[in-house]
Structures are given as C-alpha cells and as structure tokens.
A and B are shown apart, each in its own frame.
Chain A
C-alpha cells in the first residue's frame, strides 16, 4: 500500500503545467456532432430492424454499434463505428495512379472543432517524396471517421470462421503527428450489412509511425485478434521492396505469408498470415526476393504486437 501511495504521489507531480488547448465552446460543438452521429446510428439500426432485414441487420448491430451508442467509452478492436458507410470504390482504377508527388492535401477542410491541436514536428522524411497522389480524402479525425475509404483495390483475404469476407486495402493518412506517413494498410470486412458488395468496414489499421512510410523493409506489422464479428486472428503489415515471399515464425516454425502488391504502389507488398486456433507465439517476419535471396528487414521489423 505504501508503494502504491508513493507512486501515486510521485506521478501526481507530473507534469506541473498543461493547458487544454481549446475552449469549452469548441468542445461542446464537437460533442454535439458526436451526439448527432450516435442518434443517426440508433435510427439506422432501428430502421433496419423494422424492415425486417434480419440477417444483415444482425450483422450491423452486432458488430458493436449498439454498444458504442450506449457506452461511448467502449473500446475494443473494432474500428467499425461507421457513422457513414465507406463509399463504394466504384472507380478503383481512378485511385490507383502511381504515387509520384508530394502530399496533395486533398482532404476536405475540417471544421474548427476537428482541427488537431498538435503541430507538425520539423522532420525530414527519407526517402522522399511521399506519396498521396490519387488518394481518397484521409479521415480528419479517426474517432469521428474511423472508417477510411480504400485507396487502391481491395485484396481478398478469405472467409473467416464466422463466414465473413475479410479484405485488406490501403488507406490515406494525413496527420500532423505523422509527417512522414501518408498511407496505411487496413484489415477489414466486406460490408454485408448494407447489402452493398463493395463497401468495407475497417477492423485493424497498420501503418508506419516512425520515419518514412516507404523506406525499404517491414512496416506496421501487427496482430489483429478479431473484431466486426471476425473470429480468426491475422498478422498483417506491409513490406517496401521486391519481396516475393515473406515468412513468419509461428511457435518457432516458419509459416508462409500471403503477399500481394498494393495496386496504388506495387513496390509496397501487403502481407498477412492468419489462423483459426489460439494465437501462437509470433516471431519476426523475414522477406526474400524472387530468387530466394533474403531482403533487408528495415528499421521497423520488430515482433508483432497485439492489435
């Protein structure tokens, strides 16, 4: 007990000087928008129930929206608090132009209450330039828009044990906190709740957070334990470079990953390993080129963490 009190007292001394960085009025504006979003979710779920769309309605309400409406603080692995369904990528080819230029800042202007208070640190991104050409708008606030539009084509991962169609795709990141990161890869599910076959709901986002997002090697490797009613586990990430094969030790035994070039930048290889049973002990991934020659792992290979 003495230790706990001591720690609490010491932590309570830190830091002595902080300010909120905004006004209560702006916070209230943001809060009203959150409230409206929740009300919209409730109305939407109720409407689906009334029209008797039994299977699809169960999918929609079952993946956490109802819980989030009642308990806004509820956490979890889902990103799927989709206040608005992800737009269908009706013209995927239009979003797959080769990334060549500096950030275009194509995102819609945020309202004042959504503008992050953070300031971009002065850093140099190597290699440059970064890639955002052809990107859909990035979410201005992940909490309000947690379901970013796919950038590039959808990659079919397969059907999970719960019968849901799992996909991977790139998405646009435009965040002052991450000046060298302009895209990430998302593990998600086809949005069956709306009846649309092209809509997706993000489940697990993986991206670089330290240094250039297109530096050679592994980036964003992470473990998703499920979500959106998905029962299986997935280790996902991407590799920048000529990787033809990637393997990941599972309980000490190398398992081959599925490797697919990202349509928006084929030098980016999206990869994943999945399983249905208990998550095994995960090792460090490694990559080889088409001739079987080992490739550099880069600065961020690490060991997959829990996502």
Chain B
C-alpha cells in the first residue's frame, strides 16, 4: 500500500511539474502581447506590469481548466476585467493626463519616434473609459456588443465614446486621416 501511495504521490508531483513548465512557457510566449495590451490600457509601465502579473496569476489559478483552451484569450479577458474593476473601485490606480507618463522608445528612425510619441501623447489624453473602449474595439478587435458587455455600458455609449476617442487620437499624425464616424450622441448610462 505504501508503494502505491508513493507511486501516486510521484505521479502527482510529475503532473504538477509538467503544469508548471507548461505555464512557464505560456508566460514567456504571451508576455509581450499581454504587456502591450496592459500598457495600452494604463499608459504606465509599472501599472502594466502589475496588471499583467495579476492576469497571469489568475490564469494560473484556473490553469487546469483553461490550459487546453485559449489560455491567452482567458488571460486577456481577466486583464481587461481586472483593469475595469480597478478603475471602478480604486480611482487612484490611474487617471488621464496631459503629460507623457514615460518615454521609453527604443532607437528608431527619427520620424517614427516623433510619430509614436505623438500617438502616446494622444492616447494618454483619453479618459479611462475612452482608452479602454479604443483598446477593446480597435486593438483587440472585439465587437461593439462585446465591448459594451465588458465595460458595462450600452452599445450606443460604446459608439459615442469611441467616436470621441478617435477624434482625440486624430491629433496624432499617423492617425490624422482616419475616418471618425459621426455617431449620434448617445446618452451616457449610469449603472
């Protein structure tokens, strides 16, 4: 019986080690994409790190369930919802600003640096809701209905908020010629 217990224990350890190795690979591979999403949401390096770490930790907590599915999609959803939860219940986490929170651009063509800086500035001037909706709708390519469900507002609010946000982003040279749909103003919903 002792032998059976030991064998079972050894098998359990091996499974845990395999899961840990698998999760480590997942973190290594998906970190760059999730960090970028977190940075776009927060415009802040340390906050992006905190948010990504939290998303990974919550994903690991559900690893047995999500490992065989699209774990990165799960982590991304955790990240977005955690971020929305942050802003709702802890308004100190971040705030829109007219100033660049950081300048961390690797050497590149001078024009490209200026363009990215301008886009970063424009992004930082969005409100949290505007930035979240831009990231969800235009970077993660979610549908308007999905964005509305994530943020907890109506589709009309998604449209009007996105329209306002895009108008602000047009100040960046690389986005100056994007089309900004002229949505009818939608009533803001207080939930």
Contacts and interface: CB of A to CB of B under 8 A. Distances in A.
Given A31-B61, A34-B61, A209-B92, A11 B139 contact: yes
Interface string A211-253: 0000000001011011000000100000000000000000000
A160 interface: no
Interface residues on B, range: 35 or more
A4 B82 contact: no
B152 interface: yes
Contacts of B47: 118, 177
Nearest to A203: B89
Nearest to A233: B190
Interface residues of A, number: 67
B141 A8 contact: yes
Q: Is the interface of B mostly helix, strand, loop or mixed?
A: helix
Contacts of A3: 166, 178-180
Nearest to B127: A305
A20 B81 contact: no
A119 B46 CA distance: 8
A210 interface: yes
A306 B191 contact: yes
Interface in B69-125: 74, 77-78, 80-82, 84-86, 88-93, 95, 104-106, 108, 112, 116, 119-120, 123
A32 B60 contact: yes
Given A15-B36, A34-B61, A116-B46, 20 more contacts: A7-B134, A7-B166, A12-B139, A15-B105, A17-B106, A18-B48, A21-B46, A22-B49, A22-B53, A24-B28, A31-B57, A31-B61, A34-B60, A38-B61, A73-B77, A77-B88, A79-B89, A118-B46, A207-B91, A225-B190
